[in-house]
Chain A
Amino acid sequence: MEQERKGVVSSGMYTYNHHSDSGFDIHEIFVKTSRSRVLLSYIGVVFLLANVCQPLLSKEGLSSSSVWSITFGILVAKCLQYKPVKKESVVIMPTFGVQLEIHFWSGKVHRRFVPIGKILKPLLNECVTPVTCYWSLALLLRDEEELMLVFQKSHPPVKMLVPVWKALCKFLNSEYLANSSVSKPECPEHD
Protein backbone atom coordinates (compact mmCIF):
# COMPACT_ATOMS: atom_id res chain seq x y z
CA MET A 1 0.00 0.00 0.00
CA GLU A 2 1.42 3.35 -0.99
CA GLN A 3 0.70 5.83 1.72
CA GLU A 4 1.76 9.43 1.61
CA ARG A 5 1.18 11.63 4.63
CA LYS A 6 0.32 15.21 3.65
CA GLY A 7 -0.67 17.08 6.79
CA VAL A 8 -2.03 16.95 10.34
CA VAL A 9 -3.85 19.84 12.06
CA SER A 10 -5.16 19.65 15.61
CA SER A 11 -7.63 22.05 17.22
CA GLY A 12 -9.73 21.56 20.32
CA MET A 13 -11.62 18.29 20.10
CA TYR A 14 -10.91 17.71 16.38
CA THR A 15 -7.78 16.53 14.57
CA TYR A 16 -7.48 16.75 10.80
CA ASN A 17 -5.36 14.23 8.94
CA HIS A 18 -4.69 14.28 5.20
CA HIS A 19 -2.94 11.45 3.41
CA SER A 20 -3.09 9.64 0.12
CA ASP A 21 -3.31 5.90 -0.29
CA SER A 22 -3.03 4.03 -3.61
CA GLY A 23 -3.99 7.10 -5.61
CA PHE A 24 -6.98 7.94 -3.36
CA ASP A 25 -6.96 11.27 -1.54
CA ILE A 26 -8.14 10.72 2.06
CA HIS A 27 -9.16 13.50 4.47
CA GLU A 28 -9.99 12.43 8.01
CA ILE A 29 -11.44 14.30 10.99
CA PHE A 30 -10.79 12.52 14.32
CA VAL A 31 -13.14 13.37 17.19
CA LYS A 32 -11.33 13.42 20.54
CA THR A 33 -13.47 11.59 23.05
CA SER A 34 -12.03 10.23 26.27
CA ARG A 35 -12.45 6.52 26.77
CA SER A 36 -14.24 7.16 30.06
CA ARG A 37 -16.86 9.20 28.21
CA VAL A 38 -17.41 6.35 25.74
CA LEU A 39 -17.72 3.91 28.66
CA LEU A 40 -20.16 6.22 30.41
CA SER A 41 -22.32 6.43 27.29
CA TYR A 42 -22.58 2.61 27.14
CA ILE A 43 -23.39 2.44 30.86
CA GLY A 44 -26.07 5.08 30.28
CA VAL A 45 -27.65 2.98 27.54
CA VAL A 46 -27.61 -0.08 29.82
CA PHE A 47 -29.34 1.87 32.60
CA LEU A 48 -31.95 3.12 30.15
CA LEU A 49 -32.64 -0.44 28.99
CA ALA A 50 -32.89 -1.58 32.60
CA ASN A 51 -35.34 1.24 33.31
CA VAL A 52 -37.45 0.13 30.36
CA CYS A 53 -37.29 -3.59 31.13
CA GLN A 54 -37.85 -3.36 34.89
CA PRO A 55 -41.64 -2.70 34.67
CA LEU A 56 -41.98 -5.44 32.07
CA LEU A 57 -40.15 -8.06 34.15
CA SER A 58 -41.56 -7.13 37.55
CA LYS A 59 -44.37 -9.19 39.00
CA GLU A 60 -46.82 -6.30 39.34
CA GLY A 61 -47.22 -6.16 35.59
CA LEU A 62 -47.82 -3.08 33.51
CA SER A 63 -49.34 -0.04 35.16
CA SER A 64 -49.85 3.42 33.76
CA SER A 65 -46.64 4.72 35.41
CA SER A 66 -44.59 1.87 33.94
CA VAL A 67 -46.09 2.50 30.48
CA TRP A 68 -45.10 6.16 30.85
CA SER A 69 -41.56 5.27 31.95
CA ILE A 70 -41.17 2.87 28.99
CA THR A 71 -42.49 5.47 26.54
CA PHE A 72 -40.26 8.15 28.06
CA GLY A 73 -37.26 5.83 27.92
CA ILE A 74 -37.86 5.07 24.23
CA LEU A 75 -38.29 8.77 23.45
CA VAL A 76 -35.05 9.70 25.26
CA ALA A 77 -33.18 6.91 23.46
CA LYS A 78 -34.57 8.13 20.14
CA CYS A 79 -33.59 11.73 20.86
CA LEU A 80 -30.10 10.94 22.05
CA GLN A 81 -29.15 8.29 19.48
CA TYR A 82 -25.84 8.47 21.16
CA LYS A 83 -23.29 6.50 19.20
CA PRO A 84 -19.84 7.96 19.85
CA VAL A 85 -18.07 8.82 16.62
CA LYS A 86 -14.36 8.01 16.31
CA LYS A 87 -13.67 9.67 12.96
CA GLU A 88 -15.31 10.90 9.76
CA SER A 89 -13.44 10.64 6.50
CA VAL A 90 -13.74 11.77 2.90
CA VAL A 91 -12.12 9.48 0.32
CA ILE A 92 -11.70 11.13 -3.08
CA MET A 93 -11.43 8.49 -5.81
CA PRO A 94 -10.30 10.04 -9.12
CA THR A 95 -12.72 9.38 -12.04
CA PHE A 96 -15.13 7.54 -9.74
CA GLY A 97 -16.49 9.80 -7.04
CA VAL A 98 -16.32 10.56 -3.35
CA GLN A 99 -16.91 8.19 -0.45
CA LEU A 100 -18.07 9.62 2.90
CA GLU A 101 -17.40 7.41 5.92
CA ILE A 102 -18.38 7.58 9.60
CA HIS A 103 -16.36 5.32 11.93
CA PHE A 104 -17.93 4.67 15.35
CA TRP A 105 -16.13 3.61 18.51
CA SER A 106 -18.13 0.39 18.47
CA GLY A 107 -16.26 -0.58 15.30
CA LYS A 108 -19.23 -0.01 13.02
CA VAL A 109 -18.60 1.96 9.80
CA HIS A 110 -21.26 3.81 7.83
CA ARG A 111 -20.31 4.51 4.20
CA ARG A 112 -21.96 6.58 1.48
CA PHE A 113 -20.63 6.77 -2.05
CA VAL A 114 -21.45 9.74 -4.30
CA PRO A 115 -20.55 9.25 -7.98
CA ILE A 116 -18.69 12.08 -9.72
CA GLY A 117 -21.56 12.78 -12.11
CA LYS A 118 -23.93 13.45 -9.25
CA ILE A 119 -21.86 16.23 -7.65
CA LEU A 120 -22.42 19.76 -8.93
CA LYS A 121 -20.34 21.67 -6.42
CA PRO A 122 -18.97 21.47 -2.86
CA LEU A 123 -20.13 24.35 -0.66
CA LEU A 124 -18.91 25.90 2.58
CA ASN A 125 -22.07 26.95 4.44
CA GLU A 126 -22.61 29.03 7.52
CA CYS A 127 -25.49 27.36 9.36
CA VAL A 128 -27.56 29.43 11.76
CA THR A 129 -29.72 27.71 14.36
CA PRO A 130 -31.82 29.42 17.07
CA VAL A 131 -28.95 28.90 19.56
CA THR A 132 -25.69 28.77 17.62
CA CYS A 133 -23.86 29.28 14.36
CA TYR A 134 -21.27 26.99 12.74
CA TRP A 135 -19.59 26.17 9.43
CA SER A 136 -20.44 23.06 7.45
CA LEU A 137 -19.24 21.51 4.20
CA ALA A 138 -21.97 20.24 1.92
CA LEU A 139 -22.28 18.83 -1.58
CA LEU A 140 -24.72 20.31 -4.07
CA LEU A 141 -26.12 17.33 -5.93
CA ARG A 142 -27.67 17.05 -9.37
CA ASP A 143 -31.47 16.53 -9.35
CA GLU A 144 -31.63 16.61 -5.55
CA GLU A 145 -33.40 19.27 -3.52
CA GLU A 146 -31.35 18.80 -0.37
CA LEU A 147 -27.66 19.37 0.17
CA MET A 148 -25.62 16.39 1.40
CA LEU A 149 -23.48 17.13 4.44
CA VAL A 150 -19.93 15.84 4.11
CA PHE A 151 -19.39 15.62 7.91
CA GLN A 152 -22.74 14.61 9.36
CA LYS A 153 -21.96 13.92 13.00
CA SER A 154 -19.24 16.42 13.80
CA HIS A 155 -18.77 20.20 13.42
CA PRO A 156 -15.07 20.65 12.68
CA PRO A 157 -13.70 24.22 12.53
CA VAL A 158 -13.57 26.00 9.17
CA LYS A 159 -9.74 25.83 8.98
CA MET A 160 -10.13 22.04 8.70
CA LEU A 161 -13.02 22.26 6.23
CA VAL A 162 -11.22 24.58 3.79
CA PRO A 163 -8.52 22.07 2.64
CA VAL A 164 -11.22 19.41 2.12
CA TRP A 165 -13.34 21.91 0.16
CA LYS A 166 -10.33 22.92 -1.98
CA ALA A 167 -9.48 19.27 -2.64
CA LEU A 168 -13.09 18.56 -3.71
CA CYS A 169 -13.14 21.66 -5.98
CA LYS A 170 -9.81 20.62 -7.57
CA PHE A 171 -11.11 17.08 -8.05
CA LEU A 172 -14.31 18.30 -9.77
CA ASN A 173 -12.45 20.85 -11.95
CA SER A 174 -9.92 18.26 -13.12
CA GLU A 175 -12.72 15.81 -13.98
CA TYR A 176 -14.59 18.55 -15.88
CA LEU A 177 -11.49 19.49 -17.86
CA ALA A 178 -10.74 15.83 -18.61
CA ASN A 179 -14.31 15.35 -19.91
CA SER A 180 -14.28 18.52 -22.04
CA SER A 181 -10.90 17.60 -23.64
CA VAL A 182 -12.28 14.14 -24.46
CA SER A 183 -15.45 15.56 -26.07
CA LYS A 184 -13.63 18.22 -28.22
CA PRO A 185 -12.49 15.96 -31.15
CA GLU A 186 -16.15 14.86 -31.65
CA CYS A 187 -17.26 18.36 -32.75
CA PRO A 188 -14.84 19.56 -35.42
CA GLU A 189 -17.43 21.73 -37.26
CA HIS A 190 -17.78 24.18 -34.31
CA ASP A 191 -15.96 27.48 -34.90
Chain B
Amino acid sequence: MTHAYGKRSGVRYVTGGLKVYYVPWKPFLMQNTLPTLFLTFPIVRAILIREKISVVHGHQAFSTLCHEALMHPRTMGYKVVFTDHSLYGFADAGSILMNKVLQFTLADIDQAICVSHTSKENTVLRSGISPQKVFMVPNAVDTAMFTPSPERLCCDEIVIVVISRLVYRKGADLVEVIPEVCHLFPKVRFIVGGDGPKRVRLEEMREKFSLQDRVEMLGAVPHAQVRSVLISGHIFLNSSLTEAFCIAILEAASCGLLTVSTRVGGVPEVLPDDMIVLAQPAPEDMVQAVKKAIDMLPGIDPQLMHLRMKKLYSWDDVAKRTEIVYDRAMQSPKTDLLERLPRYLTCGAWAGKLFCLVMIMNYLLWCLLEYLQPTEGIEEVPDIGPIHAHFESVDDLCETQGK
Protein backbone atom coordinates (compact mmCIF):
# COMPACT_ATOMS: atom_id res chain seq x y z
CA MET B 1 0.00 0.00 0.00
CA THR B 2 1.38 3.37 -1.02
CA HIS B 3 0.12 6.75 -2.21
CA ALA B 4 -0.79 7.54 -5.81
CA TYR B 5 2.06 8.57 -8.12
CA GLY B 6 0.76 11.05 -10.67
CA LYS B 7 -1.91 9.27 -12.70
CA ARG B 8 -1.03 5.86 -11.26
CA SER B 9 -3.87 5.37 -8.80
CA GLY B 10 -6.01 2.40 -7.73
CA VAL B 11 -5.15 -1.30 -7.65
CA ARG B 12 -2.31 -2.76 -9.69
CA TYR B 13 -1.31 -6.41 -10.06
CA VAL B 14 2.44 -6.90 -10.49
CA THR B 15 4.35 -10.07 -11.47
CA GLY B 16 4.63 -12.73 -8.81
CA GLY B 17 1.10 -12.19 -7.52
CA LEU B 18 1.95 -8.91 -5.80
CA LYS B 19 -1.01 -6.54 -5.44
CA VAL B 20 -0.34 -2.82 -4.98
CA TYR B 21 -2.86 -0.30 -3.66
CA TYR B 22 -2.10 3.25 -4.85
CA VAL B 23 -4.32 5.21 -2.46
CA PRO B 24 -5.22 8.64 -3.91
CA TRP B 25 -3.56 10.73 -1.20
CA LYS B 26 -1.41 13.45 -2.76
CA PRO B 27 2.24 13.73 -1.66
CA PHE B 28 3.22 17.17 -0.45
CA LEU B 29 6.98 17.01 0.15
CA MET B 30 9.67 14.64 -1.19
CA GLN B 31 7.13 11.93 -2.11
CA ASN B 32 5.63 12.05 1.39
CA THR B 33 1.93 12.47 2.09
CA LEU B 34 0.68 15.11 4.51
CA PRO B 35 0.68 13.72 8.07
CA THR B 36 -3.06 13.35 8.71
CA LEU B 37 -2.76 11.27 11.89
CA PHE B 38 -6.25 9.74 11.81
CA LEU B 39 -7.66 10.34 8.33
CA THR B 40 -5.95 7.30 6.83
CA PHE B 41 -7.68 4.97 9.33
CA PRO B 42 -10.77 4.16 7.17
CA ILE B 43 -8.85 3.11 4.06
CA VAL B 44 -6.18 1.20 6.05
CA ARG B 45 -8.93 -0.67 7.94
CA ALA B 46 -10.79 -1.44 4.70
CA ILE B 47 -7.65 -2.87 3.07
CA LEU B 48 -6.63 -4.93 6.12
CA ILE B 49 -10.08 -6.54 6.44
CA ARG B 50 -10.75 -7.18 2.75
CA GLU B 51 -7.31 -8.71 2.12
CA LYS B 52 -7.32 -10.86 5.30
CA ILE B 53 -3.97 -9.43 6.41
CA SER B 54 -1.95 -11.05 9.21
CA VAL B 55 1.18 -8.88 9.45
CA VAL B 56 1.67 -5.22 8.50
CA HIS B 57 5.23 -4.34 7.46
CA GLY B 58 6.15 -0.65 7.24
CA HIS B 59 9.26 0.79 5.63
CA GLN B 60 11.33 3.92 6.17
CA ALA B 61 11.27 6.24 9.17
CA PHE B 62 10.74 9.32 7.01
CA SER B 63 7.44 8.05 5.57
CA THR B 64 4.37 9.61 7.26
CA LEU B 65 2.11 7.04 5.62
CA CYS B 66 4.26 4.28 7.12
CA HIS B 67 3.89 5.59 10.67
CA GLU B 68 0.14 6.02 10.30
CA ALA B 69 -0.22 2.62 8.65
CA LEU B 70 1.57 1.03 11.62
CA MET B 71 -0.41 2.93 14.27
CA HIS B 72 -3.86 1.93 13.00
CA PRO B 73 -3.26 -1.85 12.67
CA ARG B 74 -1.68 -1.84 16.13
CA THR B 75 -4.91 -0.35 17.50
CA MET B 76 -6.88 -3.03 15.67
CA GLY B 77 -4.71 -5.80 17.14
CA TYR B 78 -2.67 -6.79 14.08
CA LYS B 79 1.03 -7.72 14.26
CA VAL B 80 3.38 -5.00 12.97
CA VAL B 81 6.96 -5.05 11.70
CA PHE B 82 9.10 -2.02 10.80
CA THR B 83 12.19 -1.79 8.59
CA ASP B 84 14.54 1.18 8.87
CA HIS B 85 16.57 1.84 5.74
CA SER B 86 18.55 4.95 6.73
CA LEU B 87 20.83 6.38 9.37
CA TYR B 88 19.78 9.59 11.09
CA GLY B 89 21.54 12.06 13.34
CA PHE B 90 20.68 13.18 16.85
CA ALA B 91 21.56 16.86 16.95
CA ASP B 92 19.52 18.94 14.50
CA ALA B 93 15.86 19.88 14.95
CA GLY B 94 14.63 17.70 12.09
CA SER B 95 16.37 14.62 13.48
CA ILE B 96 15.06 15.25 17.00
CA LEU B 97 11.49 15.43 15.73
CA MET B 98 11.93 12.38 13.50
CA ASN B 99 13.45 10.38 16.35
CA LYS B 100 10.49 11.21 18.59
CA VAL B 101 8.05 9.99 15.93
CA LEU B 102 10.14 6.84 15.53
CA GLN B 103 10.08 6.34 19.30
CA PHE B 104 6.28 6.49 19.17
CA THR B 105 6.05 3.92 16.39
CA LEU B 106 8.62 1.53 17.82
CA ALA B 107 7.31 1.77 21.42
CA ASP B 108 4.71 -0.87 20.59
CA ILE B 109 6.17 -2.71 17.59
CA ASP B 110 6.33 -6.50 17.44
CA GLN B 111 9.62 -6.78 15.54
CA ALA B 112 11.97 -4.42 13.68
CA ILE B 113 14.45 -4.99 10.87
CA CYS B 114 17.60 -3.04 10.08
CA VAL B 115 19.80 -3.40 7.02
CA SER B 116 23.19 -3.44 8.79
CA HIS B 117 24.63 -3.76 12.31
CA THR B 118 25.51 -0.04 12.26
CA SER B 119 21.92 0.75 11.31
CA LYS B 120 20.67 -1.49 14.13
CA GLU B 121 22.81 0.38 16.64
CA ASN B 122 21.58 3.71 15.27
CA THR B 123 17.91 2.68 15.40
CA VAL B 124 18.17 1.26 18.91
CA LEU B 125 19.83 4.44 20.19
CA ARG B 126 17.35 6.75 18.47
CA SER B 127 14.19 4.95 19.48
CA GLY B 128 15.04 3.22 22.74
CA ILE B 129 13.64 -0.08 21.44
CA SER B 130 14.98 -3.29 22.97
CA PRO B 131 17.82 -4.75 20.80
CA GLN B 132 16.29 -8.24 21.13
CA LYS B 133 13.39 -7.05 18.99
CA VAL B 134 15.64 -5.86 16.14
CA PHE B 135 16.76 -8.27 13.40
CA MET B 136 19.52 -7.57 10.91
CA VAL B 137 18.50 -8.50 7.38
CA PRO B 138 20.77 -6.95 4.74
CA ASN B 139 19.63 -5.89 1.29
CA ALA B 140 20.72 -7.89 -1.75
CA VAL B 141 21.30 -7.42 -5.45
CA ASP B 142 19.78 -9.00 -8.54
CA THR B 143 22.93 -10.72 -9.79
CA ALA B 144 21.04 -12.02 -12.84
CA MET B 145 20.56 -8.45 -14.03
CA PHE B 146 23.95 -7.04 -12.97
CA THR B 147 26.42 -9.20 -14.86
CA PRO B 148 29.92 -8.13 -15.93
CA SER B 149 30.79 -7.38 -19.52
CA PRO B 150 31.57 -10.59 -21.49
CA GLU B 151 34.74 -8.96 -22.86
CA ARG B 152 37.26 -7.58 -20.42
CA LEU B 153 37.94 -3.84 -20.78
CA CYS B 154 41.47 -2.89 -21.79
CA CYS B 155 43.56 -1.23 -19.12
CA ASP B 156 45.18 1.47 -21.28
CA GLU B 157 42.59 3.91 -20.10
CA ILE B 158 41.07 3.58 -16.62
CA VAL B 159 37.43 4.57 -16.33
CA ILE B 160 35.97 5.51 -12.95
CA VAL B 161 32.17 5.40 -12.72
CA VAL B 162 30.09 7.47 -10.28
CA ILE B 163 26.34 6.85 -10.21
CA SER B 164 24.35 8.47 -7.41
CA ARG B 165 21.88 11.18 -6.59
CA LEU B 166 23.98 14.36 -6.75
CA VAL B 167 22.97 15.69 -3.34
CA TYR B 168 25.01 16.81 -0.34
CA ARG B 169 24.47 13.53 1.53
CA LYS B 170 25.89 11.52 -1.34
CA GLY B 171 29.16 13.41 -1.45
CA ALA B 172 30.07 16.97 -2.13
CA ASP B 173 33.74 15.86 -2.10
CA LEU B 174 33.57 14.79 -5.73
CA VAL B 175 34.17 18.40 -6.71
CA GLU B 176 37.65 18.22 -5.15
CA VAL B 177 38.48 14.57 -5.78
CA ILE B 178 37.90 14.49 -9.54
CA PRO B 179 40.31 17.30 -10.59
CA GLU B 180 43.02 15.95 -8.25
CA VAL B 181 42.73 12.41 -9.62
CA CYS B 182 42.70 13.70 -13.22
CA HIS B 183 45.85 15.70 -12.51
CA LEU B 184 47.73 12.81 -10.84
CA PHE B 185 46.65 10.07 -13.28
CA PRO B 186 46.59 11.17 -16.96
CA LYS B 187 45.08 7.83 -18.07
CA VAL B 188 41.99 8.15 -15.87
CA ARG B 189 38.56 9.17 -17.19
CA PHE B 190 35.33 9.74 -15.21
CA ILE B 191 31.71 8.90 -16.06
CA VAL B 192 29.22 10.62 -13.74
CA GLY B 193 25.59 9.46 -13.84
CA GLY B 194 22.78 10.97 -11.80
CA ASP B 195 21.08 14.27 -11.22
CA GLY B 196 20.44 16.61 -8.33
CA PRO B 197 21.26 19.98 -6.77
CA LYS B 198 25.03 19.32 -6.77
CA ARG B 199 25.17 18.71 -10.50
CA VAL B 200 25.67 22.40 -11.17
CA ARG B 201 28.80 22.44 -9.00
CA LEU B 202 30.22 19.47 -10.88
CA GLU B 203 29.57 21.17 -14.22
CA GLU B 204 31.34 24.30 -12.94
CA MET B 205 34.31 22.19 -11.81
CA ARG B 206 34.47 20.66 -15.30
CA GLU B 207 34.57 24.10 -16.88
CA LYS B 208 37.11 25.48 -14.42
CA PHE B 209 39.66 22.69 -14.91
CA SER B 210 38.83 22.10 -18.63
CA LEU B 211 37.97 18.44 -18.04
CA GLN B 212 35.19 18.18 -20.63
CA ASP B 213 36.99 15.39 -22.49
CA ARG B 214 37.85 13.51 -19.29
CA VAL B 215 34.65 13.85 -17.27
CA GLU B 216 31.42 12.70 -18.96
CA MET B 217 28.13 13.81 -17.35
CA LEU B 218 25.25 11.49 -18.24
CA GLY B 219 22.43 13.07 -16.24
CA ALA B 220 19.69 10.92 -14.69
CA VAL B 221 20.18 7.24 -15.59
CA PRO B 222 17.06 5.00 -15.55
CA HIS B 223 17.59 1.92 -13.37
CA ALA B 224 17.27 -0.39 -16.37
CA GLN B 225 20.32 1.29 -17.96
CA VAL B 226 22.55 1.37 -14.86
CA ARG B 227 24.22 -1.93 -15.75
CA SER B 228 25.25 -0.72 -19.20
CA VAL B 229 26.87 2.34 -17.62
CA LEU B 230 28.64 0.28 -14.92
CA ILE B 231 30.20 -2.23 -17.33
CA SER B 232 31.88 0.61 -19.23
CA GLY B 233 34.12 1.27 -16.19
CA HIS B 234 36.84 -0.37 -14.10
CA ILE B 235 36.32 1.33 -10.75
CA PHE B 236 33.16 2.48 -8.96
CA LEU B 237 33.50 5.52 -6.72
CA ASN B 238 31.03 6.08 -3.86
CA SER B 239 31.52 9.24 -1.81
CA SER B 240 28.50 9.18 0.52
CA LEU B 241 28.71 11.04 3.80
CA THR B 242 26.22 8.66 5.44
CA GLU B 243 24.95 5.27 4.35
CA ALA B 244 23.02 2.56 6.20
CA PHE B 245 23.83 -0.10 3.60
CA CYS B 246 24.54 1.11 0.01
CA ILE B 247 23.06 -1.18 -2.65
CA ALA B 248 24.95 0.80 -5.33
CA ILE B 249 28.29 -0.78 -4.42
CA LEU B 250 26.66 -4.23 -4.49
CA GLU B 251 25.50 -3.56 -8.03
CA ALA B 252 28.97 -2.34 -9.00
CA ALA B 253 30.66 -5.40 -7.45
CA SER B 254 28.18 -7.70 -9.20
CA CYS B 255 29.23 -6.09 -12.50
CA GLY B 256 32.88 -6.80 -11.68
CA LEU B 257 33.99 -3.28 -10.73
CA LEU B 258 36.45 -2.58 -7.94
CA THR B 259 34.81 -0.20 -5.45
CA VAL B 260 36.33 2.83 -3.76
CA SER B 261 34.09 4.13 -0.99
CA THR B 262 34.01 6.32 2.09
CA ARG B 263 34.16 4.43 5.37
CA VAL B 264 30.76 5.60 6.68
CA GLY B 265 27.80 3.92 8.31
CA GLY B 266 27.21 0.34 7.22
CA VAL B 267 29.49 0.43 4.13
CA PRO B 268 32.36 -1.60 5.71
CA GLU B 269 29.90 -4.46 6.34
CA VAL B 270 28.81 -4.78 2.74
CA LEU B 271 31.77 -6.10 0.71
CA PRO B 272 34.79 -8.30 1.48
CA ASP B 273 38.09 -6.42 1.92
CA ASP B 274 39.55 -7.50 -1.42
CA MET B 275 36.60 -6.05 -3.36
CA ILE B 276 36.55 -2.59 -1.79
CA VAL B 277 39.03 0.15 -0.86
CA LEU B 278 37.77 2.28 2.02
CA ALA B 279 38.76 5.87 2.78
CA GLN B 280 37.86 8.57 5.25
CA PRO B 281 35.30 11.06 3.89
CA ALA B 282 38.02 13.63 3.11
CA PRO B 283 39.27 14.46 -0.41
CA GLU B 284 42.98 13.67 0.26
CA ASP B 285 42.18 10.25 1.68
CA MET B 286 39.85 9.46 -1.18
CA VAL B 287 42.53 10.33 -3.75
CA GLN B 288 44.94 7.93 -1.99
CA ALA B 289 42.26 5.25 -2.04
CA VAL B 290 41.76 5.74 -5.80
CA LYS B 291 45.54 5.35 -6.28
CA LYS B 292 45.47 2.10 -4.31
CA ALA B 293 42.53 0.86 -6.37
CA ILE B 294 44.32 1.64 -9.66
CA ASP B 295 47.32 -0.39 -8.46
CA MET B 296 45.00 -3.29 -7.49
CA LEU B 297 43.21 -3.34 -10.87
CA PRO B 298 45.41 -5.84 -12.78
CA GLY B 299 44.63 -8.49 -10.12
CA ILE B 300 40.85 -8.12 -10.41
CA ASP B 301 38.80 -10.68 -12.35
CA PRO B 302 35.25 -9.34 -12.96
CA GLN B 303 33.76 -12.81 -13.61
CA LEU B 304 35.15 -14.21 -10.34
CA MET B 305 33.87 -11.17 -8.50
CA HIS B 306 30.41 -11.67 -9.95
CA LEU B 307 30.35 -15.35 -8.94
CA ARG B 308 31.36 -14.47 -5.39
CA MET B 309 28.59 -11.85 -5.19
CA LYS B 310 26.11 -14.47 -6.41
CA LYS B 311 26.97 -16.66 -3.43
CA LEU B 312 27.09 -13.81 -0.90
CA TYR B 313 23.85 -11.98 -1.71
CA SER B 314 20.50 -13.14 -2.99
CA TRP B 315 16.96 -11.84 -2.56
CA ASP B 316 15.79 -15.42 -1.83
CA ASP B 317 17.96 -15.40 1.28
CA VAL B 318 16.55 -11.99 2.30
CA ALA B 319 13.01 -13.34 1.82
CA LYS B 320 13.73 -16.40 4.00
CA ARG B 321 15.16 -14.24 6.77
CA THR B 322 12.24 -11.80 6.57
CA GLU B 323 9.84 -14.75 6.87
CA ILE B 324 11.56 -15.74 10.11
CA VAL B 325 10.89 -12.20 11.39
CA TYR B 326 7.22 -12.49 10.39
CA ASP B 327 6.92 -15.86 12.18
CA ARG B 328 8.44 -14.33 15.30
CA ALA B 329 6.02 -11.40 15.07
CA MET B 330 3.03 -13.77 14.77
CA GLN B 331 4.13 -15.53 17.97
CA SER B 332 4.12 -12.35 20.06
CA PRO B 333 1.26 -12.27 22.59
CA LYS B 334 -2.02 -10.46 22.04
CA THR B 335 -2.34 -7.29 24.05
CA ASP B 336 -5.22 -4.92 24.65
CA LEU B 337 -5.16 -1.13 24.93
CA LEU B 338 -4.65 -0.99 28.70
CA GLU B 339 -1.59 -3.24 28.48
CA ARG B 340 -0.12 -1.21 25.64
CA LEU B 341 -0.54 2.32 27.02
CA PRO B 342 2.27 2.09 29.63
CA ARG B 343 4.75 1.38 26.79
CA TYR B 344 4.10 4.87 25.42
CA LEU B 345 4.62 6.54 28.79
CA THR B 346 8.32 5.64 28.63
CA CYS B 347 8.76 7.87 25.56
CA GLY B 348 9.17 11.02 27.62
CA ALA B 349 7.64 13.20 30.34
CA TRP B 350 5.36 15.14 28.02
CA ALA B 351 5.66 13.09 24.86
CA GLY B 352 4.63 9.90 26.66
CA LYS B 353 1.33 11.40 27.82
CA LEU B 354 0.70 12.93 24.38
CA PHE B 355 1.31 9.57 22.68
CA CYS B 356 -1.08 7.86 25.13
CA LEU B 357 -3.73 10.45 24.30
CA VAL B 358 -3.19 9.88 20.55
CA MET B 359 -3.59 6.11 20.97
CA ILE B 360 -6.76 6.52 23.07
CA MET B 361 -8.26 8.78 20.39
CA ASN B 362 -7.23 6.27 17.75
CA TYR B 363 -8.98 3.51 19.71
CA LEU B 364 -12.17 5.59 20.00
CA LEU B 365 -12.03 6.31 16.27
CA TRP B 366 -11.73 2.57 15.65
CA CYS B 367 -14.84 1.95 17.75
CA LEU B 368 -16.69 4.60 15.74
CA LEU B 369 -15.62 3.03 12.45
CA GLU B 370 -16.72 -0.42 13.70
CA TYR B 371 -20.17 1.06 14.40
CA LEU B 372 -20.50 3.02 11.14
CA GLN B 373 -19.09 0.30 8.89
CA PRO B 374 -19.13 -3.09 10.65
CA THR B 375 -16.47 -5.64 9.71
CA GLU B 376 -19.18 -7.91 8.22
CA GLY B 377 -20.04 -5.17 5.73
CA ILE B 378 -16.52 -5.16 4.25
CA GLU B 379 -16.40 -8.16 1.95
CA GLU B 380 -13.18 -10.09 1.57
CA VAL B 381 -11.44 -10.18 -1.79
CA PRO B 382 -12.02 -13.56 -3.47
CA ASP B 383 -8.92 -15.60 -4.36
CA ILE B 384 -9.14 -14.98 -8.07
CA GLY B 385 -6.25 -15.05 -10.53
CA PRO B 386 -7.24 -12.23 -12.84
CA ILE B 387 -4.50 -12.90 -15.42
CA HIS B 388 -5.21 -16.63 -15.66
CA ALA B 389 -8.98 -16.14 -15.90
CA HIS B 390 -8.53 -13.67 -18.74
CA PHE B 391 -6.17 -15.99 -20.66
CA GLU B 392 -8.58 -18.92 -20.29
CA SER B 393 -11.44 -16.97 -21.82
CA VAL B 394 -9.20 -15.70 -24.64
CA ASP B 395 -7.99 -19.27 -25.32
CA ASP B 396 -11.59 -20.48 -25.55
CA LEU B 397 -12.34 -17.75 -28.06
CA CYS B 398 -9.24 -18.53 -30.13
CA GLU B 399 -10.08 -22.24 -30.25
CA THR B 400 -13.56 -21.48 -31.54
CA GLN B 401 -12.18 -19.11 -34.18
CA GLY B 402 -9.59 -21.64 -35.36
CA LYS B 403 -12.21 -24.29 -36.14
Give the interface of A toward B (CB within 8 A).
12, 126-133, 135, 157-159, 169, 173, 176-177, 180
Contacts and interface: CB of A to CB of B under 8 A. Distances in A.
A65 to B, nearest CB: 32
Interface stretch (B90-98, B257-265, B360-368, B374-382): B374-382
Cβ-closest 5 pairs across A and B: A131-B42, A126-B11, A157-B379, A133-B46, A128-B10
Given A126-B10, A128-B21, A135-B379, 9 more contacts: A128-B22, A128-B23, A129-B43, A130-B25, A130-B39, A130-B43, A132-B42, A159-B382, A180-B401
5 contacts: A128-B11, A130-B43, A133-B21, A133-B47, A169-B393
B24 interface: yes
A129 B23 CA distance: 7
B160 to A, nearest CB: 46
Main secondary structure of the interface of A (DSSP, over half): mixed
B328 interface: no
B376 A12 contact: yes
B177 to A, nearest CB: 47
Interface in B1-41: 9-11, 21-25, 39
A12 B46 contact: no
A158 B379 CA distance: 8
B393 A130 contact: no
A128 B379 CA distance: 14
B50 interface: yes
B349 interface: no
Contact of A132 (B9, B46, B382): B46
B136 to A, nearest CB: 35
A133 B382 contact: no
Nearest to A173: B397
Interface string B172-210: 000000000000000000000000000000000000000
Contacts of B10: 126-128
Contacts of B21: 128, 133
Contacts of B377: 12
B331 interface: no
B132 interface: no
Interface in B347-403: 373, 376-377, 379, 381-382, 393, 397, 400-401
A169 B389 CA distance: 12
